[in-house]
Structure 1
Amino acid sequence: MENILEKLVNNSKKAINDGVYEISESLSKSEIDLGETMVRSQHAPLITEVKFSSPALGNIRKVSNPVNIAIDMVNGGASALSVLTQPFLFDGSPELFMKVRKVVKIPMLMKDITVDKIQIDAAKKMGADYFLLIQSIFDKKMVSEMDELIDYGHKNGVKVLVEAHTSKEFENACKTDADIVGINN
């Protein structure tokens, strides 16, 4: 039986094969450096998430206007936005991401189960400042070449947030060239 991580990886591969990440438009990323914002912030900087569904919770809210949600988050003090682009189990899409990118100026993370350079190319075209890599997927050898994906992102001007769920994953993530290591626990 397929576990949730395997399902997420397989869903990303299916989305790639379905052409989900074929982006014709090209948008600019933010001019704000999130890393510098985090260092200079007097308070804990918030990276808020535009998300409609999840594997754990199912449907969180009706897929509505992500732009209004994002504007409310920015007005509420978000330093960056994480916007889901994975269609399966999360109800995200590159189109939703780009709608938000066109109206907000703060840094944005393309939140997806990144397994291929095609997704990084899409992140760049969509104006993403960051893309997500999930450490456990690489630790469990479900996807290889984490360093290659990080290097590819950097060569294409897209930074990397590596997400860790355990202390061991955090240690491994800190050994990479990720721009930010995030803890999702």
Structure 2
Amino acid sequence: MNILDKIIADKRKEVDLKKSIIPKSQLEQSVLFDRTGNSLAKALRNSTTGIIAEHKRRSPSKDTINQNTNVGLVARDYQNAGVSGMSVLTDIKYFGGSLEDLLLARASVMMPLLRKEFIINEYQILEAKAFGADAILLIAAVLTKAEIKTFSEFAKSLGLEVLLEVHNQEELRKSVMPSLDMLGVNNRNLKTFEVSLETSKSLSIQIPDDFVKVSESGISSIEAIRDLKQYGYQGFLIGENFMKTDNPGKSALEFIKKLN
């Protein structure tokens, strides 16, 4: 069993437990549930940098990245730095995140927030809405075509945007559908954790222009972004590069100044 299979197996148990404790009706009564979201796709299209800055404490590939952050402060600093949006990891066991991180980020900023999670159930999409997300991540590697359709359409019905993540041509082929807003290419192989920007480059021509193209993982230089922009990418998800420093917001600000 590879790490992705382990994460999904644990996620199913976690979601079943949550559903037994907090009913859907309680999520739907959240004060944030009727909130009108901010468009991440629009922010990326209108941005000169397209950076989605991530809040990530640790990961299975790097273990501890930064355990000493205040997510609200990081969110404000990211917003002041001029990022297009923020990705908030909410997985507890493998990434050290939580839904409370999403809630604190929402309380701190107006910019679009992406709930980054291993979504395998509609219940998690309700959670995303209830805790203040503007967009959700769906991972093609762990979902069937029917699930991608069902989950993305459900998200849209709640006013959430959808970023669909692929790793190869096979995943992309099953994923293109009108209920998506953004198509992301993860440059990290989720089974081996090897990273190559060539993944984004090779798949770019196969992504229809209707979708905002987002490149994820392994982006740590100005040159990489300038290079990927030539392939039609408008969004760039950056996590470790900022989070591994003592001041993620300051790192993002310096990066964006150089990029501009």
Give TM-score, length-normalised by structure 1: 0.87
**Is 2:10 aligned against 1:11?**
yes
Verify the 8 A CA contact 1:30 1:106 in the aligned structure 2: no
Q: Which moved more, 1:49-58 or 1:164-173?
A: 164-173
Q: Which runs of 4+ in 1 moved over 6 A?
A: none
Q: CA deviation at 1:174?
A: 2.8
Q: Which moved more, 1:153-162 or 1:63-72?
A: 63-72
Aligned residues: 180
Q: CA deviation at 1:63?
A: 4.5
CA RMSD after TM alignment: 2.2
Instruction: Classify the secondary structure of the residue corresponding to 1:15.
Output: helix
Q: In structure 2, do the counterparts of structure 1 residues 30 and 182 end up closer, same or farther at CA, with 3 Å as the change threshold?
A: farther
Structure of greater Rg: 2
Instruction: Give me the identity figure in percent.
Output: 31
Counterpart AA for 2:41: G
**Is 2:157 aligned against 1:158?**
no
**1:130-145 counterparts in 2 under 5 A?**
130-138=135-143, 145=147
**Is 2:186 aligned against 1:180?**
no
Distance 1:105 1:30 in 2: 11
Residue 106 of structure 2 is matched in structure 1 by 101
Q: CA deviation at 1:147?
A: 0.8
| Structure 2 unmatched runs, 5+ | 188-260
Verify the 8 A CA contact 1:67 1:103 in the aligned structure 2: yes
Q: Deviations over 1:25-60 (max 9, x none)?
A: 43265653222222222x231111000011111111
Q: CA deviation at 1:171?
A: 3.7
**Is 2:84 aligned against 1:85?**
no
Give TM-score, length-normalised by structure 2: 0.63
Distance 2:69 2:36 in 1: 24
- Structure having the larger proportion of residues in helix: 2
